[in-house]
Amino acid sequence: MLALAGFGAVVWAFAAAGVLPVMLGELGLGTVGFGTFLGALGGAGSLLAVEQQRAAASLLVNPEAVGSARLAVAVGAAAWVAGWLALSRGLTPRAAVARADSAAKGKPLFPRLANSRDFHWGTLAAYGFGLFAAEVAFVLVYLLLVGKASTGGAVTGGLAPVTAFVLAFGGSVGVAFGAGFLGAANSRRLSVPEFTTALLYFGLPVPAFLTAMHHVGWLMLNVGYKLREVVYLSSLLGESRPELGYWLVFAGLVLATFLGINLGFVATASGRFDLRTSYESFIASRHVAVFRPRLVIGVFLVLILGIVPPLILLAIVSAADAAVSRTRIKRLGLADPLLAAEALNEQRLAAQTPTAMMTALSVGGVGVGVMALVIVLSVMSGFEADLQKKILGTNSHGVVMKYTPEMPEYAEVVEKIHRVRGITGATPFILNEVMVSSEGNISGSMIKGVDPKTVGSVTDLPASLGCEAGRPCQPMEALEDPTKIRARRLEPGVGEGAIDDTPAKPPSPLIRDPMVELPAEAPDDSVLPGIVVGKELAASLRVVVGDRINVVSPLGGELGPNGPVPKSRPFRVAGVFYSGMYEYDSKFVYIHLREAQTFFGIKGASGVEVKVDDVDDARGIMKRIYDALDGYPYRTKDWGEMNRNLFAALRLEKLVMAIILTIIVIVAAGLIVATVIMLVLEKRKEIAVLKALGVPDGGIVKIFLSEGLQIGVVGSSLGLVSGLAWCLFIEKVGIKLDPQVYYIPALPVRIVPLQTVLAVVIAILVTFLASVYPALKASQVEPVEGLKSE
Amino acid sequence: MTAPFLEVVDVYKSYFLNGKRIDVLRGVNVRIEQGELVSLIGASGSGKSTFLHVAGTLDAPAAGVMRFKGQSVFDLNDAQVAEFRNTKIGFVFQSHFLLPEFTAAENVAMPALINRRERRATMTRARELLERVGLLHRAEHKPGELSGGESQRVALARALIMQPALLLADEPTGNLDPSTGEGIHALLREVNRELGITAVVVTHNEVLARSLPRRLRLVGGQVVDADAAPPADAAPVGAPG
């Protein structure tokens, strides 16, 4: 335990030593008392860290690492102490000038100045403990909800990870938000020093500790084992990099605290709890004037039609408009010069101010960001859904296997599986690798023995053979009964070694009997068992329905004079399937389960494929099956595990795209910062007047926050509407893709409501946060400064 | 004995010009009783406006105490100060300082809206006040379309909507021609007489000052009775502001 605490301290001192002095230096917190206090605390932390490092050294395997770590800690501690010494002495010390006493010597200082406090300990406590409690609560609540892990790797009891994560994260976000709110309400300001201190001293240690856990062996052994569910969750979050997961959650909690601080400040900045915004939003809406139909329609057109055409249109229209009004004023002036002057003045008044242009620009910027986010995320979801549909169509949602290659009791297993809740189908299968050869070509393939009666309840094989649900499927029946295959009758003289046989004969017992099976001697004109091949494979083998192909397997053959002889067997093509996945269409062939049994000498099946009603809960349902089968020697896998690489890559791609597009939104937020700052500069006089009329500082903050929010809301709504319009356009009209390259004929689109709403919410949050700084600046305008006339 | 209406004790205030400290108020002591109409005169840069800003809580002094009906105003927190300004004080400045995005009526109504009064009733009251200052026909005009005198009358109406106890006017006629200015003065006197609002009017117009019942003079950073101290030895404290 002691060593554990020591390591926390190392990481904490380390992170702090590198970052803190710089950050706080920039913040200009040269307060002597504050600096000394933190310096002392940091120094103690570093000392403790060094001591603990020594204690921990015995546990570590590599002594060299200890040495370098100790050196690093020493350097870090030195930098830390030096940084704080510099800070505590003041960053830019000035020589004290001897000043003469003023007339006011001995009089009481202005009370509000005298009573102001530089550092609120209560606020620090609220922020620090809030953040720390949120982190610890997240880990503990998650562990509690998800239940303890069993030895089999699967989880027993508790909630699904996603549900548990949502609950735990929601709860801890609430804690962080509440702590921020209370802290800011206590100090009635944003309290940057308190927040920074809380973040570095109470917030950072937990994720830093978790990250360190992955790099220190004994820590992982002692602590990581207990936290393995958290590690698993984090690797899901961070795309198999748990460290990223920790920091993502940490960032979320910090953001929640920050939002809480903002809201707490806004609500109580003026000394009383007040979230009403009646006159604030009235004033703000007049300032930004963002609901003007001209602006809204203009931005919408820009978003829908692309940027350039509407601008050209605008240029033409305004040029024509200007020309017309010039002519009108001139004619008026020829009759009455003063009326013309008045008209000119009216025109000048109607002209847009730079701030109005900036407002339009920032609305457009936010709109572009949200639109891009909505479109790209929808298209990527479309790709993902398309891929998932094809993979899940060809494959099952999950498989049940045994630790042995054979499952002779598959019928019982299927029966047990059917009793599990959430199962819509189960079918036995045998999977093996073989070579398939035709007269013209040869190809390596995956061969799958299926039960034609039940395979349709699990995969889309009948559908990809062109069969409709609920109707007899000719190729499937042919698989069941090979006599139904119509052999191809070629024109004489084509000379391809064509097979010319008649179908009506009953199956020969020779072929059914594995003992006397002689593959090469199977008569051409006999009834051959059916095989279903993929469209691409059929093309490369140059076969069509009715053709004969040979399946060659190195396994299960007899021993010849020169070692094992590969086993070969002829099949007749009963159907050609098209799944849409090149991988499958070029690799897979299907035969009847009993043919596979005899061909590979397998008793029963190699496993059972399962289809579930809720694809997203496949993991949970497979776990229920696992429990229903009493675990070992059975094992289960869901589709996510079977295709982990593919979906992980796709999700990572989506994550990266989302991050890139969020950067667009952040750039747009920069525009909002600029716009609101311009508004503040332009409105200095008005701010002063409003303060003179009795608007408290909190009210001014609310006015300008509301201005940023209005820009954000209008921009996001326009972006959302135009993004959805674009998605609809892509879906209905379609953007053609080269099927040879992408294997899909058109760009797929799938609008996921949750992620679309999330994109809009994130955009609005970002714009809200962007206007915090200018709003604070606005509230700091002194009434007298603005009121200095002229 | 009841507490005086407004009592300013030992107020010190400096401003800085090119890094040099100029002590503009040096221990100001003033008592103003309810219902008084007071003029404050003084040379340019003598600190008249500074005094008015401090008295109106728009500016923080370095030291000093101000009591309004016995309550120390400088001890109030931000919300209380804002409420004090909103409900107890009406300002009229040299420039009208109307909010350009709002109509005359909305400008007049603004203090009441800030007080979160009901919108409709407030707008009706604003129109009544505009009628009183003779500008009802201009109610829906924006400040940009009003003349200087009209704007100043709108500003006066705005200062009155919350029925303040104290009206602080900082050279309300400084930017106006004499006849328009006289109209504003007449309105001020009327307000004082009819509504019983205590008013302090800063001016350098001696004629106006003489027309008001009580005259104060800021000289040497201190407020003295204008009728007692001769204006001759009043040297400006700092450079003209």
* Entry pTM: 0.71
| pLDDT score, position A501 | 47
Question: Which pLDDT does position A206 carry in this prediction?
Answer: 85
Distance from CA of A699 to the nearest CA of B (A): 9
Q: What is the pLDDT of residue A475?
A: 73
d(CA A233, CA A239): 10
pLDDT at A164: 81
How many secondary structure helices (H) and strands (E) does chain A include? Answer: 32, 11
Q: Does B179 touch chain A (CB under 8 A)?
A: no
Residue B105, pLDDT > 90, answer yes
pLDDT of amino acid B90: 92
- Taking 90 as the threshold, does the pLDDT of residue B158 lie above it? yes
Residue of A nearest to B57 (CA): A692
- Hey, are the CB atoms on A694 and B87 less than 8 Å from each other? yes
Q: Mutate which of A353, A693, A710, A790 to test chain B, going by most B C-beta atoms within 10 A?
A: A693
- At A95 the pLDDT is 64
Mutate to test the interface with A, among B16, B23, B81 (most CBs of A within 10 A): B81
Q: Do A113 and B60 touch (CB under 8 A)?
A: yes
Least confident of A3-17, A113-127, B23-37: A3-17
Q: How far is CA A404 from CA A631, A633, B88, in A?
A: 14, 8, 90
Residue A151's pLDDT band (boundaries 50, 70, 90)? very low
Closest CA to A232 of A242, A224, A223, A222: A242
pLDDT of A217-260, one tens digit each? 777 777 777 777 787 777 777 666 778 888 888 888 888 888 88
pLDDT at residue A720, as a whole number = 93
Q: Which residue of A has its CA nearest to B241?
A: A788
Quick one: what percent of chain A has pLDDT higher than 90?
2
| Best residue of B22, B92, B110, B237 to probe chain A, by most A CBs closer than 10 Å | B110
Residue B166: pLDDT band with limits 50, 70, 90: very high
Q: What's the whole-number mean pLDDT along residues A571-579? A: 84
Q: β-strand B214-219 against B222-225: which pairing, if any?
A: antiparallel
Tokens for A464? Answer: 């990809």
Cα–Cα distance measured from residue A668 to residue A510, given in angstroms and rounded to the nearest whole number: 76
Q: Which residues of A touch B (CB under 8 A)?
A: 102-104, 107-113, 188, 269-272, 274, 276, 278-279, 282-283, 286-287, 289, 349, 685-686, 688-699, 782-784, 787, 789-790
pLDDT of B108: 93
* Integer Cα distance of A344 and A751 in angstroms: 50
Q: pLDDT per residue over A9-34, tens digit each?
A: 444 554 444 444 433 433 333 333 34
Among the partner residues A270, A686, A782, nearest to B78 by beta-carbon distance: A270
Q: By the CB < 8 Å criterion, does B94 face chain A?
A: yes
Could you tell me which residues are beta bridge partners of residue A617?
none
Average pLDDT over residues A616-620: 75
Asked if B80's CB is within 8 angstroms of A698's CB, the reply is no
**Least confident segment among A293-297, A302-306, A421-425, A579-583:** A579-583
* Per-residue pLDDT, B89: 92
Q: Does B71 touch chain A (CB under 8 A)?
A: no
ipTM: 0.90
pLDDT tens for A383-402 read 878 877 777 767 778 888 88
Q: CB of B123 within 8 Å of any CB in chain A?
A: no
B213 min Cα distance to partner chain A (Å): 27
pLDDT value, residue A716: 92
**Cβ separation A109–B85 shorter than 8 A:** no
Mean pLDDT over B107-130 rounds to: 91
pLDDT at A548: 83
Q: CB B58 to CB A692 under 8 A?
A: yes
Q: How confident is the model at residue A722 (pLDDT cuts 50, 70, 90)?
A: very high
Band of pLDDT at residue A91, cut at 50, 70 and 90? low
Contact residues for A30 (Cβ-Cβ < 8 A; gap 6+): A87, A90, A91
Q: Please report which confidence band the pLDDT of residue A124 belongs to, taking 50, 70 and 90 as the band edges.
A: confident
pLDDT at A1 over 50: no
Q: Test B58 with A691 for CB contact under 8 angstroms.
A: yes
Q: Where does A578-632 show beta strands of DSSP type E?
A: 588-592, 607-612
How far is the C-alpha of B235 from the C-alpha of B237, rounded, in Å?
6
The verdict on a CB contact (< 8 Å) between B78 and A278 is no
Q: Which residue has the tokens 């904490």?
A: A12
Q: Mind listing the pLDDT tens digit for each residue in B179-227? A: 888 888 888 888 888 888 999 998 877 777 888 888 888 888 888 887 7
